[in-house]
């Protein structure tokens, strides 16, 4: 027995750890944008780390369970309700057959993760159950959920309800964030003033923020004058189409930088000036429209240190929920 | 000049040239093909592009300086690329030029176009100095194109025509991007052609449409038994103009899951191509006929 | 909510209508139209009080209660957070 989708929410998709290895043909890694929270949800219900969860963006779905299950909600502060009664986030709880899981309004963050014991058992495509909607690939029929969908659930070994992520290991979602970036790629195309503006501006996330990319507003970056190379467009922010790193920050026309996330377009003709370090991609995913961000420049060494610290935090999570 | 940059802590980006040219493209393909053959632990994605390439890697398993050293040794071995033969294939892609579906789509985006009263094909012909669309089509379909990069979205090839620069077709992109493009539209923007693998946004002028699917996430068409993406970087395309009757026939074959693209394995040598582009291209195209 | 207490505010309790999502708040259906509601407009639960936009999708915000608009808390075309008060309605 599976889960019936009564209301789909705004953009709810099946995701897992992703689909690496196909970016060379334009298929991005996909997977939960906030991998830390997604892992926490799976561990809480006793799932394998690569089990599929639901990623709920800005608004939760309404789900009726066909059979009893253990459920956990992590990530954004999107308070879960069972039969209309509050249930704790970052803790596993029991859901009975026929019960309805819904959500209160978003309090902070942007994306909540719902794990069910057994995992959402949609077919794996290229080794992953993650939804890549632009390519109609993976997940449930390659798309976001709609009302009336039936989600199959895998066989649950499952953990008993009542497990909890220690307070220190729960993510919090401030309205302002500092996101660490490594300058590079085509940053030499910026003037000194353009670089300064990029680092000093307070960037506000616009409503154009989805799994492909997050578009910010706040200042205009100045580019160096140049003669357009053959094959690049005429605008100073154009380049001959190049690969786009996951996390890279492109600035079409010098306005509204876009941070690409795990459903990235794999390449294109806009100047990229920096890339978010891997350790901070979960935080980028939890910025909501109207939240603000400063991009803080770091070098490779601190970038790798941050990556190791994040790995240690994931390890602490595994130990706490072992 | 080779320019190298890290893209965050888990990508390395290498650019061979700022302007589009086949030699830089070929170096990117040769280096990435060699890297893939070496099967280095910790390498996640190897993405060749028009004049650059990118490697996504797991820095916990592969130290950045070790990867850089590896790439430097491969780049040195590849040199200017003229000694490297790329094992690839040539594919014949049928096109209905000036088809009714892309024309209808273009008519919905009048405000985004340089000349709303001409079709995209007529505009492309005029800006390239042709008196008629027939002349433009003859140039467009007359010489093969190389998939210099695959991406943007799943399976979309960027195509660069294998002719000297003075014969390159160049067409400005739409003034602002469309929100809609039919699937399998043949597009052209700047010096690049493309085949839109999925329906969606786009900014290239729309010249025609092919009945052939190039992306099949359901893997039910015969060409997609092994992969849901048809194109790989380095594939060579020869366009074949078709009329509406043939288009409808081929579409019926596609719908019956019987259609296969004509293709043949070829080796591509940059050195021999540069020595005699037209003669070399003729030889490539003959491979399609099994000669 | 400062601004909610206009003349006669002490007479009846007000209800805050909050944005269910983060997005851009629009007081009018399009720039050439009058606002959906003004201070003093009578509303029913299904009266549209505002539109807001998120990821290029537009959503209507119903008043959700019966009464009159006591205050509009957000300027037209301003960004709002989920849960932010958009306007207040004085019950009748």
d(CA B84, CA B241): 32
Candidates B37, B84, B65, B34; CA nearest to B270 is B84
Enter the tokens of residue B107.
């008519």
| Interhelix angle A35-44/A300-320, nearest 10 degrees | 10
Residue A230 maps to a domain: yes
CB pairs under 8 A between A and C: 50
- Judge: C82–A106 Cβ closer than 8 Å, yes or no: yes
All partners of chain B with 3 or more CB pairs under 8 angstroms:
A
Do residues B114 and B216 share a domain? yes
Same domain, B12 and B146: no
Structure-model confidence comparison of residues B256 and C8, the more confident one: B256
Give buried/exposed letters for C3-41 (b at 16+ CB in 10 A, else e).
ebeeeeeeeeebbbbbbbbbbbbbbeeeeeeeebbeeeb
Give the DSSP H/E element, type plus range, for residue B272: helix B270-275
* A318 in a structural domain: no
Who contacts C80 (Cβ-Cβ below 8 Å, separation ≥6)? A290, C19, C22, C23, C24, C25, C52, C74, C86
Query: CA nearest A202: which of A292, A274, A297?
Result: A292
**Taking CB atoms and an 8 Å cutoff, what residues of chain A touch C23?**
207, 289
Which pLDDT value is given to residue A183? 98
Same domain, A124 and A186: no
Min Cα separation B265/chain A (Å): 20
Q: Is residue C54 a contact partner of residue C2, using CB atoms and an 8 Å limit? A: no
**Are the beta carbons of C55 and A204 separated by less than 8 Å?**
no
Q: Residues of chain C with pLDDT > 90: what percent?
A: 55
Chain B residues 216-245 within an 8 A CB cutoff of chain A? 217, 228-229, 231-233
User: Domain check: are B66 and B102 in the same one?
Assistant: no
Question: Quick one: average pLDDT of B231-250?
Answer: 97
Q: Which residue among B81, B101, B129 closes a domain?
A: B81
Contacts of B285 (CB under 8 A, 6+ apart): B90, B144, B238
Q: Which residues of A touch C81 (CB under 8 A)?
A: 175, 288, 290
Alpha carbon of C5: minimum distance to chain A alpha carbons (Å): 26
A254 at interface of B, judged by CB pairs closer than 8 A: no
- Minimal CA–CA distance to B238: which of B136, B127, B159? B159
Q: Over range B28-56, report the average pLDDT.
A: 96
Of A129-133, A155-159, B53-57, C60-64, the poorest mean pLDDT is in A155-159
Query: Which of A152, A169, A186 delimits the end of a domain?
Result: A169
The answer to whether residues B182 and B73 belong to one domain is no
The answer to whether residue A317 is domain-embedded is: no
* Average pLDDT taken over every residue of chain C: 85
Q: How close, in Å, is residue B291 to chain A by CA atoms?
A: 30
The pLDDT score that the predictor gives to residue C5 is 42
Shared domain check, A30 and A8: yes
Is residue B118 domain-shared with residue B14, that is, in the same domain? no
C14-91 under CATH 2.40.50.100, yes or no: yes
Residue bearing tokens 């309700």: A81
pLDDT 10s digits, B132-151: 999 999 999 999 999 999 99
> Are A130 and A193 in the same domain?
no
Mean pLDDT on B271-277: 93
More confident of the two residues A213 and C11: A213
Looking at the structure, tell me whether residues A59 and A130 fall in a common domain: yes
What CATH number did the domain enclosing B49 receive? 3.30.1360.40
For chain B, the distance separating the N- and C-terminal CA atoms, rounded to the nearest angstrom, is: 39
Q: Decide if A9 is inside a domain.
A: yes
Residues B71, B113, single domain; the answer is no
* Contact between residue A98 and residue A4 where contact means Cβ atoms under 8 Å apart: no
ipTM entry: 0.94
CB contact under 8 A, A290 and C55: no
* Domain hosting residue A206, numbered range: 176-312
Is residue A246 located within the same domain as residue A103? Answer: no
Please check the confidence at residue B291 and state whether its pLDDT lies above 90: no
CB distance B196 to B156 below 8 Å: yes
Q: What share of chain C is helix, strand, coil (3-state, %, to 5)?
A: 0, 45, 55
Task: Taking the CA atoms of A45, A49, A52 and A58 in sequence, report the sign of the dihedral they define.
Answer: positive
The number of helices, as runs of H, and strands, as runs of E, in chain B is: 8, 12
| Chain C residues in contact with A261 (beta carbon < 8 A) | none
Specify whether B130 is located in the same domain as B73. no
- In this structure, what token pair is assigned to residue B103? 């024309």
Structure tokens at B99: 């088809």
Nearest alpha-carbon partner for A236 in A216, A249, A256, A252 = A252
The two tokens of residue C84 are 């932010």
Closest C-alpha among A4, A32, A263, A262 to residue A146: A4
Q: Name the token pair of B234.
A: 């380095």
Torsion angle of alpha carbons C45, C50, C54, C59, nearest 10°? 40
Give the one of A229, A268, A303 whose C-beta lies nearest to B9's C-beta. A303
Is the domain of B130 the same as that of B260?
yes
Beta-carbon separation of A290 and C54 below 8 A: no
What subunits touch chain A, counting only 3 or more CB pairs under 8 A? B, C
Shared domain for A42 and A159, answered yes or no, is: yes
Q: What is the pLDDT of residue C64?
A: 87
Q: Are residues A197 and A251 in the same domain?
A: yes
CA nearest B132: which of B120, B117, B121, B143? B121
- Indicate if the pLDDT at residue C9 is higher than 60: no
Interface contact flag, A134 B154, Cβ < 8 Å: yes
pLDDT in 10s for each residue of chain A, 322 residues:
799 999 999 999 999 999 999 999 999 999 999 999 999 999 999 999 999 999 999 999 999 999 999 999 999 999 999 999 999 999 999 999 999 999 999 999 999 999 999 999 999 999 999 999 999 999 999 999 999 999 999 987 667 899 999 999 999 999 999 999 999 999 999 999 999 999 999 999 999 999 999 999 999 999 999 898 999 888 888 899 999 999 999 998 889 999 999 999 999 999 999 999 999 999 999 999 999 999 999 999 999 999 999 999 999 999 999 8
Residues B109 and B214 grouped into a single domain: yes
pLDDT bin (cut points 50, 70, 90) of residue C10 is low
**3-class state of residue A49 by DSSP:** coil
The minimal CB distance from A136 to the residues B18, B190, B217 is found for B217
Considering the domain architecture, whether residues B93 and B70 belong to the same structural domain is answered as no
On whether both A27 and A150 belong to a single domain, the answer is yes
- Chain A CA closest to residue B226: A126
Number of separate domains in chain B:
2
Domains in chain A: how many in total? 2
Q: Which of C54, C59, C83 to probe by mutation at the A interface, max A CB count within 10 Å?
A: C54
Q: What's the rounded Cα separation, in Å, for the pair B151 and B227? A: 15
One-character DSSP codes across A200-240: HPPEEEEEEE-SSEEEEES-BPPBPP-PPPTTS-SSTTEEE
Indicate whether B111 and B158 sit together in one domain. Answer: yes
Q: Are B215 and B254 in contact (CB under 8 A)?
A: no
- Single residue among A169, A192, A227 that ends a domain in this structure: A169
Domain of residue B238 covers 87-289
Q: Is the pLDDT of residue B272 over 80?
A: yes
Across B192-202, average pLDDT: 94
Q: Name which of C18, C23, C83 is nearest A289 (Cβ-Cβ).
A: C23
Report CA torsion sign: A262, A267, A273, A277: positive
Domain stops at, among A169, A201, A216: A169
How far apart are the CA of C68 and the nearest CA of chain A, in angstroms?
24
**CA gap B91, C10 in Å, rounded:** 79
What is B30-57 written as a DSSP string?
Answer: HHHHHHHHH--TTEEEEEE-SSEEEEEE
How far is residue B228's CA from residue B225's CA, in Å, rounded to a whole number?
8
DSSP per position, B158-190: EEEE-S-GGG---BPPPSS-BS---TTEEEEEB
| Short-list A269, A282, A270, CA closest to A310 | A282
CATH of the domain at B126: 2.40.100.10
Overall average pLDDT of the B264-277 stretch: 94
Among candidates A199, A205, A177, A187, which has minimal Cα distance to A274? Answer: A187
**Helix H or strand E segment including A263:** none
| pLDDT tens column, B60-103 | 999 999 999 999 999 999 998 888 889 999 999 999 999 999 99
Query: Residue A132 and residue A138: Cα distance in Å, rounded?
Result: 6
Domain match, A26 and A66 both: yes
Closest CA relative to residue B103, chosen from B82, B86, B117, B84: B117
Question: Are B34 and B122 within one domain?
Answer: no
Mapped onto helix, strand or coil, the DSSP state of residue A309 is helix
User: With an 8 Å Cβ cutoff, is B128 touching chain A?
Assistant: no
**A93: in domain:** yes
Tens digits of residue pLDDT in C25-59: 999 988 889 999 999 999 999 999 999 899 888 88
**Which CATH number covers residue A270?**
2.40.100.10
| A204 and A267 both lie in a single domain | yes
B149 in Cβ contact with B157 (< 8 Å)? yes
């Amino acid at each position: 027995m599976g889960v019936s989708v009564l209301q789909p929410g705004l953009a709810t998709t099946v995701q897992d750890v992703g689909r690496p290895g196909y970016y060379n043909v334009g298929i991005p890694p996909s997977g939960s944008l906030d991998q830390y929270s997604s892992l926490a949800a799976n561990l809480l219900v006793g799932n394998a780390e690569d089990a599929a969860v639901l990623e709920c963006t800005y608004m939760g779905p309404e789900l009726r369970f066909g059979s009893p299950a253990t459920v956990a909600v992590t990530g954004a502060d999107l308070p879960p309700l069972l039969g209309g009664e509050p249930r704790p986030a970052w803790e596993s709880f029991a859901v009975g057959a026929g019960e309805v899981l819904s959500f209160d309004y978003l309090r902070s963050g942007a994306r909540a993760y719902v794990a069910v014991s057994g995992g959402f058992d949609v077919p794996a495509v290229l080794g992953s159950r993650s939804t890549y909607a632009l390519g109609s690939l993976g997940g449930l029929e390659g798309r976001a959920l709609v009302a009336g969908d039936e989600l199959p659930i895998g066989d649950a070994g499952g953990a008993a309800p009542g497990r909890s992520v220690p307070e220190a290991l729960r993510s919090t979602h401030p309205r302002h964030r500092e996101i660490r970036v490594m300058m590079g790629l085509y940053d030499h195309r910026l003037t000194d003033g353009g670089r300064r503006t990029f680092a000093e501006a307070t960037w506000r996330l616009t409503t154009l923020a989805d799994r492909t990319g997050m578009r910010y507003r706040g200042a205009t970056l100045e580019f160096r004058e140049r003669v357009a190379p053959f094959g690049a467009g005429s605008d100073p922010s154009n380049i001959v189409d190049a690969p786009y790193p996951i996390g890279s920050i492109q600035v079409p026309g010098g306005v509204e930088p876009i941070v690409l996330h795990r459903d990235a377009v794999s390449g294109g003709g806009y100047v990229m000036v920096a890339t978010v370090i891997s350790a901070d991609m979960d935080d980028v995913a939890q910025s909501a429209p109207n939240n603000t961000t400063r991009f803080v420049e770091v070098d490779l060494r601190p970038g790798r240190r941050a990556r190791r610290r994040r790995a240690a935090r994931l390890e602490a999570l595994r130990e706490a929920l072992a | 000049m080779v320019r190298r940059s890290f893209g965050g802590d888990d990508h390395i980006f290498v650019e061979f040239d700022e302007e589009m040219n086949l030699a830089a493209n070929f170096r990117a393909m040769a280096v990435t093909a060699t890297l893939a053959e070496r099967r280095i632990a910790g390498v996640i994605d190897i993405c060749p592009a028009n004049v650059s390439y990118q490697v996504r890697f797991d820095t916990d398993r592969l130290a950045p300086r070790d990867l850089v050293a590896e790439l430097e040794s491969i780049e040195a071995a590849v040199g200017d690329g003229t000694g490297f033969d790329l094992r690839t294939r040539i594919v014949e892609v049928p096109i209905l030029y000036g088809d009714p579906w892309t024309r209808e789509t273009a008519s919905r985006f009048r405000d985004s176009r340089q000349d709303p009263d001409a079709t995209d094909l007529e505009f492309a012909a005029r800006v390239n100095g042709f008196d008629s669309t027939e002349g433009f089509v003859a140039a467009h379909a007359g010489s093969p194109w190389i998939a210099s990069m695959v991406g943007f979205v799943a399976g979309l090839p960027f195509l660069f025509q294998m002719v000297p620069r003075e014969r390159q077709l160049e067409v400005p992109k739409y003034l602002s991007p469309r929100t809609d493009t039919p699937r399998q539209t043949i597009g052209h923007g700047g010096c690049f052609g493309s085949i839109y693998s999925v329906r969606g946004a786009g900014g290239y002028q729309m010249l025609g449409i092919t009945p052939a699917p190039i992306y099949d996430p359901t893997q039910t068409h015969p060409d997609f038994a092994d992969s849901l993406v048809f194109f790989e970087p380095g594939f060579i395309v020869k366009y074949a103009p078709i009329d509406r009757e043939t288009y409808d026939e081929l579409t019926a074959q596609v719908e019956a899951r019987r259609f296969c693209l004509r293709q043949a394995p070829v080796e591509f040598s940059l050195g021999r191509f540069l020595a005699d582009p037209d003669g070399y291209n003729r030889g490539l195209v003959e491979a399609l006929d099994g000669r | 909510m400062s601004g909610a207490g206009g003349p006669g505010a002490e007479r009846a309790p007000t209800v805050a209508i909050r944005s269910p999502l983060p997005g851009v708040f629009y007081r009018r259906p399009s720039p050439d139209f009058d606002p959906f509601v003004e201070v003093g407009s009578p509303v029913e639960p299904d009266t549209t009080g505002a539109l807001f936009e998120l990821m290029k999708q537009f959503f209507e915000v119903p008043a959700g209660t019966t009464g009159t608009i006591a205050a509009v808390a957000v300027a037209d075309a301003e960004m709002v957070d989920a849960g932010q008060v958009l306007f207040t309605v004085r019950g009748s």
